[in-house]
């Protein structure tokens, strides 16, 4: 089984290849929001691993939530490759991927959503993976909530960006936190593998990022009106 995974939901983009039991990961150089860096990283990874594009069994991508430009990029590149190669697509939630990187049993995954907001979700580790306890949501740091019971470990960049507000607001049931981890393509690939075996794949034509905010992107006209770039 050979699964290519793309993850560009944060500033730290990465690509990974799961080839049987061997998992190889590469960082995407520069900003993952630029398509000219992602595809060369994919080609370089496959070349180094001796796997041709046609030899892939499936393509997985970090579906979100996350940076809008990065989500669209990963989805678009994965979709294009899957359609061109006739391979199935496997979307994986970025907060689930992040939580899978934490060894704790009760994980509160939270990443900096920019615009003074946080993407967050909660998961419990079980024998065969993770169970979602709180679905992905978006809120200002002061309105972020834990599940109604239990102790939780905070995991993700939101705890670096908004440490004081989150620690104070979440209270004593936050047993600790690590504000450095970001979702990784290797985690996307690892979560995608059992889904591929179970046949839980997606028609590439139906691929779409998971947006949590009500308004996911401004139009070019709106951006220009606000002094931004087109």
Q: What do you get for the CA distance between the two ends of the chain, in Å?
A: 41
| Reported pTM | 0.90
184-216 pLDDT per residue, tens? 999 999 999 999 999 999 999 999 999 887 543
Q: What angle do the packed helices 68-85 and 35-49 form, to 10 degrees?
A: 50
Q: Contact, 66 vs 93, CB < 8 A? A: no
CA distance 98 to 52: 28
* Alpha-carbon span 29 to 36, nearest angstrom: 10
pLDDT at 34: 65
Instruction: For residue 159, say if its preceding peptide bond is cis, omega within 30 degrees of 0.
Output: no
Average predicted confidence (pLDDT) for the chain:
92
b vs e for 81-109, b when ≥16 Cβ sit within 10 Å of the residue's Cβ?
A: bbeebebbbbbbbbbbbbbbbbebebbbb
Of 28-37, 74-83, 184-193, give the lowest mean pLDDT range. Answer: 28-37
Task: Give the residue-averaged pLDDT of 119-147.
Answer: 96
Other CB atoms within a 10 A radius of the CB of residue 24 amount to 17
Which domains are seen in the chain, by residue range? Answer: 2-94+183-225 (3.30.420.40), 103-178 (3.30.420.40)
CA atoms of 213 and 137, how far apart (whole Å): 8
Q: Residue ranges of the alpha helices (H) in 150-184?
A: 158-161, 163-170
Handedness of CA 214, 217, 218, 224 (dihedral sign): positive
> Whole-angstrom Cα distance, residue 62 to residue 189?
9
Mean pLDDT computed over 66-77: 94
């Amino acid at each position: 089984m050979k699964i290519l995974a793309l993850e560009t939901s944060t500033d730290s983009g990465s690509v990974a290849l799961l080839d049987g039991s061997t998992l190889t990961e590469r960082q995407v150089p520069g900003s993952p929001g630029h398509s000219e860096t992602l595809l060369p990283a994919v080609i370089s990874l496959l070349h180094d691993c001796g796997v041709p594009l046609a030899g892939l069994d499936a393509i997985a991508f970090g579906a979100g939530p996350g940076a809008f430009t990065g989500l669209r990029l990963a989805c678009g590149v994965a979709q294009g490759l899957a359609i061109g190669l006739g391979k199935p697509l496997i979307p994986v939630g970025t907060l689930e991927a992040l939580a899978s990187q934490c060894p704790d049993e009760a994980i509160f995954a939270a990443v900096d959503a920019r615009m003074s907001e946080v993407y967050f979700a909660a998961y419990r580790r079980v024998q065969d993976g993770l169970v979602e306890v709180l679905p992905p949501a978006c809120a200002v740091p002061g309105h972020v909530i834990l599940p109604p019971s239990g102790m939780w470990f905070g995991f993700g960049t939101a705890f670096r960006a908004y440490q004081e507000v989150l620690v104070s607001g979440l209270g004593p049931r936050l047993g600790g936190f690590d504000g450095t981890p970001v979702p990784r393509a290797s985690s996307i690939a690892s979560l995608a593998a059992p889904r591929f075996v179970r046949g839980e794949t997606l028609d590439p034509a139906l691929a779409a990022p998971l947006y949590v905010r009500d308004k996911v992107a401004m139009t070019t006209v709106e951006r220009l009106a606000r002094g931004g770039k087109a």
